[in-house]
Amino acid sequence: IIGQQPGHADALHLLGLVLYQQGDPQTAIPYIEQALQSIQVQESQNVKLLNQSNTHENLHNSLGECLRAVGRPKDAISHFKVAIHLKRDFSEAKFNMGLAYQQLLDWDRAVSLYREVSEGALLALPHGPVGQNMLMEARVRQCDLLQAQGKLVEARTCWEKGVRSWPTNALMYNELGNIHVHLGDLELATDYYESALHHGMSLAELNVAIVLELEGKTVESIARYERVLLGAKQAGLPYRHIKIKMATILPRVMPELKELTRLRERMEVKLEELIAEAGLPNMEVDNAEPLQFAFTAALHLAFHGESNVALKRKLHRVYSQFCPSLTTGYFLNEDNIIPQQHVVMRQDYALWDDELPRVTGNERSVRVGWVSRFFFQHDVGILSQGIIEKLPRPAYRVFVFIIEPREDDLVTNHIRRTADEVFLLPPKLAVIADAIRQQRLDVLVYPEVGL
| Per-residue pLDDT tens digits for 93-104 | 999 999 999 999
pLDDT in the model for residue 4: 59
The distance from CA 376 to its chain's CA centroid, rounded to whole angstroms, is 21
Task: Indicate the number of domains in the chain.
Answer: 3
3-class secondary structure, 287 = coil
Number of C-beta neighbours around residue 16 at 10 A: 26
Does the pLDDT of residue 214 top 70, yes or no?
Answer: yes
Residues 14, 94: one domain? Answer: yes
Lowest-confidence pick of 312-316, 352-356, 393-397: 352-356
Domain boundary among 69, 84, 104: 104
Residues 1, 93: one domain? Answer: yes
Residues 4, 96: one domain? Answer: yes
Tally the C-alpha atoms within 13 A of residue 218's C-alpha that lie toward its C-beta. 16
Percent of the chain with pLDDT over 90: 47
pLDDT category, 277, cuts 50, 70, 90? confident
- Answer whether residue 182 is part of any domain: no
pLDDT in the model for residue 46: 58
Strands 337-338 and 331-332, by their bridges, are: antiparallel
- Which H or E run contains 127? none
- Answer whether residue 43 is part of any domain: yes
pLDDT in the model for residue 358: 52
Percent of the chain with pLDDT over 70: 82
pLDDT in the model for residue 235: 87
Counting every residue, how long is the chain? 451
Mean pLDDT of the 64-72 span: 92
pLDDT in the model for residue 328: 63
Provide the domain limits for residue 47. Answer: 1-104
Residues 22, 88: one domain? Answer: yes
- Answer whether residue 305 is part of any domain: yes
Its sign, for the CA torsion 192, 197, 201, 207, is positive
The per-residue pLDDT for range 153-210, each reduced to its tens digit, is: 999 999 999 999 999 999 999 999 999 998 889 999 999 999 999 999 988 999 999 9
Residues 338, 370: one domain? Answer: no
pLDDT in the model for residue 371: 95
Mean pLDDT of the 245-255 span: 86
- Cis before 394 (ω within 30): yes
Q: Are 49 and 42 in contact (CB under 8 A)?
A: yes
The per-residue pLDDT for range 79-95, each reduced to its tens digit, is: 999 999 999 889 999 99
The per-residue pLDDT for range 297-308, each reduced to its tens digit, is: 887 888 888 899
Residues 445 and 442: their CA atoms lie apart, in Å, by 10
Mean pLDDT of the 350-376 span: 70
Residues 150 and 221: their CA atoms lie apart, in Å, by 28
Does the pLDDT of residue 317 top 80, yes or no?
Answer: yes
Give all strands (DSSP E) within 56-214, no chain letters.
Answer: none
The per-residue pLDDT for range 396-446, each reduced to its tens digit, is: 999 999 998 767 789 999 999 999 999 999 888 778 888 999 999 999 999
Number of C-beta neighbours around residue 219 at 10 A: 12
The per-residue pLDDT for range 227-236, each reduced to its tens digit, is: 999 998 898 8
Does the pLDDT of residue 49 top 80, yes or no?
Answer: no
Q: Quick one: DSSP state of residue 360?
A: S
Domain boundary among 342, 358, 374: 342
CATH number of 382's domain: 3.40.50.11380
- Answer whether residue 174 is part of any domain: no
Q: Give the N- to C-terminal CA distance of the chain in Å, as an integer.
A: 73
Give all strands (DSSP E) within 243-336, no chain letters.
Answer: 331-332
pLDDT in the model for residue 158: 95
CATH number of 47's domain: 1.25.40.10
Does the pLDDT of residue 293 top 70, yes or no?
Answer: no
Q: CA separation (Å) from 100 to 16, 218, 229, 243, 427?
A: 20, 45, 40, 40, 22
Q: Quick one: DSSP state of residue 421?
A: E
Q: Quick one: DSSP state of residue 286?
A: -
DSSP string, 28-84: HHHHHHHHHHHHHHHHHTTPPPS-GGGSHHHHHHHHHHHHHHTT-HHHHHHHHHHHH
Residues 327, 375: one domain? Answer: no
Q: Are 427 and 289 in contact (CB under 8 A)?
A: no
Mean pLDDT of the 333-342 span: 38
Residues 338, 268: one domain? Answer: yes
Own/partner contacts of 346-352, CB < 8 Å, gap of 24 or more, are 349/440, 349/442, 352/440
Q: Quick one: DSSP state of residue 357?
A: P
Residues 266, 336: one domain? Answer: yes
Between helix 240-247 and helix 309-322 the angle, nearest 10°, is 170
Does the pLDDT of residue 225 top 70, yes or no?
Answer: yes
pLDDT in the model for residue 288: 62
pLDDT in the model for residue 339: 38
Domain boundary among 87, 104, 121: 104
Does the pLDDT of residue 341 top 50, yes or no?
Answer: no
Does the pLDDT of residue 264 top 80, yes or no?
Answer: yes
195-211 residues labelled b (16+ CB within 10 A) or e (exposed): bbbebebeebbbbbbbb
The residue that leads in pLDDT, 348 or 145, is 145
Does the pLDDT of residue 340 top 70, yes or no?
Answer: no
At residue 215, what are phi and psi to the nearest 5 degrees? -80, -5
Residues 407, 309: one domain? Answer: no
Residues 333, 380: one domain? Answer: no
- Which H or E run contains 304? none
What residues have CB less than 8 Å from 150, skipping those under 6 apart? 404, 405, 406, 407
The residue that leads in pLDDT, 115 or 451, is 115
